[in-house]
Amino acid sequence: MTLKRESRIAGIVPRSYFPYLTGGLEFTANILAEELSSQGYGYFVLAKREQRGLASLVTRVAAKVRGPYASKKKLNGYQAVYDQWHPSRADRFIADANCDAVVCHLSFNEEGVEVATRAQKPTMFYLHSKRVEPNLRDAVRQLDRVKLAGVSEFSCKALEDATGRAATLLTPWLNPRKYFVHSTGQSILVVNPDLKKGGDIVCEVAALMPERQFVVAGGWQLQAQTSENRIIEERLAQLENVTRLGVVGDMRGLFENAAVLFFPCRQPEAFGRIVAEAHICGIPTVGTGVGALGTTIGSGGKVLPLQSSSKDWADALEIVGFRERTLYQEAAFKMADTNTRGYAYYLRTVDEIFQDLVGEHQM
């Protein structure tokens, strides 16, 4: 058969999705979905339905009557469909919806890899984390038509090392209009202050800098229930120079008040999206270099070892955010161009991947 531009594509995310969960993977998956739908592809995002109690029971009954992924939401040019058993029944939806290809977003998504293998469709595996699913190598061997992509050079190398196949760099395109602000402020910005992101380090440094205001936003709701993160939240609440905010939808309000982003992350980041977003506004970052973070921060800030003392972190924040602010602002603007690579690059790369994956060819 001949697959054309009007092909239907199913994107498998590993967990929930808009409006239930809005992390970096979900934002990146949304960017790809919007771009492919604008190019004329029929696009579905398959995700988990997050419900508890009576609502969960009602959804389960409805799903048994109406089949998998019965819950739907129309988003910007494409459709998101939800199932409580996601992704175990995704291959049934892919078959029933006559999808021609699959995008499997990788971040602890072994079951999604299994679904893509069972579906036996042309598949793009898109890595958003440092960890490659252990069953990916076999999946690549079992599928006839496969493309590998990563959000950074770091994730591309991880894919290549795990599969022996070349991977395409597909850095998320960040629309400057969604982030850019004309002026920035005097606060030190922290996002998602859980233990893995260095929340305990933030507490120590904020206590050492009582004259500086810290704005701390976001944080995964479930992660906040761990004993370590409860301690972090308690310590933050005790600091008079810390303003604690919840999840923020529009980052521009935070960026308008920020002089520098503080990101002493412990876990290797595959990209470091918040750093790239801040750079768009000329806001530099002080953070660790784990994973791809060192590359993403680049000259637009300072990279310190994770084991740095609280005083070293405080000194770096003073230099980058205040004493030499103009110098680092200019560097951050330049890094924004490097990190996002522009819409033209993103458009060309997406077009090349999917013309090769599901463009007109005989099967």
Name the pLDDT band for 363 (thresholds 50, 70, 90).
Answer: very low
Domains and their CATH numbers in the chain: 8-173+341-358 (3.40.50.2000), 176-340 (3.40.50.2000)
**151-193 tens-digit pLDDT:** 999 999 999 999 999 999 999 888 888 899 988 899 999 999 9
- Scored b (16 or more CB within 10 A) or e, 154-183 reads bbbebbeebbeeebbebbbbbeeeebebee
Mean pLDDT within 95-103: 95
Nearest CA-CA partner of 47 in 33, 62, 64:
33
Cα separation, 162 vs 190, in Å, equals 33
Name the pLDDT band for 18 (thresholds 50, 70, 90).
Answer: confident
What is the chain's mean pLDDT, rounded? 89
Cα separation, 318 vs 259, in Å, equals 10
Cα separation, 26 vs 14, in Å, equals 10
pLDDT at 240: 97
Mean pLDDT within 5-29: 86
Q: Are 100 and 121 in contact (CB under 8 A)?
A: yes
Tokens of 44: 């579905």
Tokens of 84: 């409580």
- Scored b (16 or more CB within 10 A) or e, 14-52 reads bbbbbebbebbbbebbbbbbebbbeeebbbbbbbbbbbe
Cα separation, 170 vs 156, in Å, equals 9
Sign for the pseudo-dihedral over CA of 95, 99, 101, 104: negative
Q: Is 78 left (phi over 0), alpha (psi -120 to 50) or beta?
A: beta
Predicted model pTM: 0.87
**239-295 tens-digit pLDDT:** 999 999 988 878 899 999 999 999 999 999 999 999 999 999 999 999 999 999 999
pLDDT at 219: 72
Sign for the pseudo-dihedral over CA of 135, 140, 145, 148: positive
Nearest CA-CA partner of 143 in 174, 118, 175, 170:
118
